[in-house]
Structure 1
Amino acid sequence: MMVNTEPTFITPNWPAPSNVKALQTTRVGGVSVAPFDSLNLGAHVQDDAMAVATNRQRLSPYLPSEPIWVNQVHGTDVIDAATSTCLQNADASFTTKANVVCVTMTADCLPVLLCDKQGKVVAAVHAGWRGLCDGVIEAAVQKMQVPPSEVLVWLGPAIGPNAFEVGGDVRAQFIEKDSHAAQAFKLLESSASGDKWLGNLYLIAQQRLNRIGVSAIYGAGVNEDFCTYTDQARFFSFRRDNVTGRMASMIWLESN
């Protein structure tokens, strides 16, 4: 079990307005024991409920309010965090209200944080491969109701392009939606039982954003190097461990 008593965060490296605040947790700095060690924030992964509550409480000094936790279902629904209760079924949230914390939890899926250049709206997106394929990022950008050229994006820690192994059926679903997605897959093995590919979630997210006019993209695969699968010391990974914890990517507007 990790013994660090203070949460360890990653602060996104992006040119967001000064009133836009964002934090990415790691697995370090909580009280959960293996295999959830130690800062597990997921209440749905069979970890001890009191440990999860303690871990979430440890975020409080760094946040203006309790995050609006959602029940992620690998879909494309986007909720207004300012008018929603916790645990609604959704895979993205946005807000224009100060001190409302949008959050997404991941352990290989791609967390996406968004804001506008004026610091008027923020959003957090859970982009697992299904949601990414079906357009959850595009749905979140639409809800922000600002020109795509005004949107800034940070891609958080996810399973990297040298670790995300998928079958040919997954690749085909992405290419059916956007032929450019073929560039994001590298053939790993071809056999009578089917093809195996390595997929680049970061590149697919960039392609989807570029297609709708968003070009200001930072973070994983751009100017920062993250891989949840290979960096076991910092990150939870469902693909690697199966039974594991969840990290949180959080964003909010600071009040003036």
Structure 2
Amino acid sequence: MSSEAASLLTFIRPDWSAPPNICALCTTRDGGVSQPPWASLNLGAHVGDIPEHVAENRLRLSGACSLPVDAFGWLNQVHGTEVVELFAGGLIGIPDADACFTRVSGRACAILTADCLPVILCDQDGTTVAAAHAGWRGLCNGVLENLVASMELPGKTLMAWLGPAIGPQSFEVGPEVKAAFIEQDPRSEVAFSSLGAREGHYMADIYRLARQRLEALGVKNISGGNFCTVADTQRFYSYRRDGQTGRMVTLVWKN
């Protein structure tokens, strides 16, 4: 792969106050070799794309990040709450998990999304990085709580960035989703609105729900949360919009 190919990738870089040794980015759909409906920088190996195309896209990502191809901690995301520590030994293959963290330099936590919320975290001293796949099920059931507990760091020492996800004007849900969140935390009710939704349904603000969960954990330094994967057709994949589609990746690592 040429450096010219790697340079075709376009990224969103978090606007957050992370220490200088912390690196993070989210890919867009530009700069890869995948053909429709996965065009073009699909990084998901589980969505029906040609494996060689995914491999080339991941190779381009590796070059653009100046990281080895084996430095990415891919997960088999299952909309659960399992957390794994990456690159610490003991893991075989790609683990079934929806959140991860590492204290190893030069190794990236990776979360694949196409509407679900990617959340990345680091501590103010730059010792630990973490990432979560916070779809509504995982978010409701405690994936962020499990992740912060696994990091074994006080919430007040952490900072978070909320990456591209389905926005509050596009995320219509049924009453069971609202009820599930309110059962966990009655304050969640403010994140649901009937305005713009079908009768008996609600528009959900997954960004607000995530902020509530993080703040309850003591995480006050929270950035991001101003995207909509459904509305931004040029930059983002969206499963709700397109059905069969590719996946972006949100990465965080420390140097």
Q: How does 1:132-211 map to 2 (within 5 A)?
A: 132-188=139-195, 189=197, 191=199, 195-211=200-216
In structure 1, what is the Cα distance between the partners aligned to 2:6 and 2:251?
21
Aligned match of 2:235: 234
Superposition deviation, residue 23 in structure 1:
1.3
1:242 aligned partner, one-letter code: G
- For the residue of structure 2 that corresponds to 1:152, the secondary structure is strand
- 175 and 35 in structure 1: CA distance in 2 versus 1, 3 angstrom threshold: same
Aligned match of 1:11: 13
List runs of 5+ in structure 1 lacking aligned partners. Answer: none
- For the residue of structure 2 that corresponds to 1:58, the secondary structure is helix
Moved more, 174-183 or 82-91: 82-91
- For the residue of structure 1 that corresponds to 2:125, the secondary structure is coil
* 1:101 equivalent among 97, 104, 108: 108
Superposition deviation, residue 134 in structure 1:
0.4
In structure 2, what is the Cα distance between the partners aligned to 1:64 and 1:49?
21
In structure 2, what is the Cα distance between the partners aligned to 1:236 and 1:90?
22
* 2:49 equivalent among 47, 59, 62: 47
* 1:73 equivalent among 72, 78, 82: 78
Aligned match of 1:247: 248
Spell out, residue by residue over 1:201-246, the C-alpha distance to the aligned partner (whole angstroms, 9 max, x if none). Answer: 00000000111111100011xxxx3110000100000000010000
2:11 aligned partner, one-letter code: F
1:171 aligned partner, one-letter code: K
Spell out, residue by residue over 1:106-165, the C-alpha distance to the aligned partner (whole angstroms, 9 max, x if none). Answer: 000000000000000000100011000001011111111111100000000000000000
Aligned match of 1:27: 29
TM-score, normalized by length of structure 1? Answer: 0.93
Spell out, residue by residue over 1:28-65, the C-alpha distance to the aligned partner (whole angstroms, 9 max, x if none). Answer: 10000111000000000001111000000001121423
In structure 2, what is the Cα distance between the partners aligned to 1:233 and 1:129?
24
Aligned match of 2:67: 64
1:219 aligned partner, one-letter code: G
1:214 aligned partner, one-letter code: V
Spell out, residue by residue over 1:140-195, the C-alpha distance to the aligned partner (whole angstroms, 9 max, x if none). Answer: 1111111110000000000000000000011100000000110000014564xxx1
Q: Is the 8 A contact 1:112 1:156 kept in 2?
A: yes
Spell out, residue by residue over 1:77-124, the C-alpha distance to the aligned partner (whole angstroms, 9 max, x if none). Answer: 110111334421000110011111110000000000000000000001
List runs of 5+ in structure 2 lacking aligned partners. Answer: none
- For the residue of structure 2 that corresponds to 1:226, the secondary structure is coil
TM-score, normalized by length of structure 2? Answer: 0.93
In structure 1, what is the Cα distance between the partners aligned to 2:6 and 2:143?
35
In structure 2, what is the Cα distance between the partners aligned to 1:139 and 1:244?
29
Paired residues, number: 245
Percentage identity across aligned positions? 49
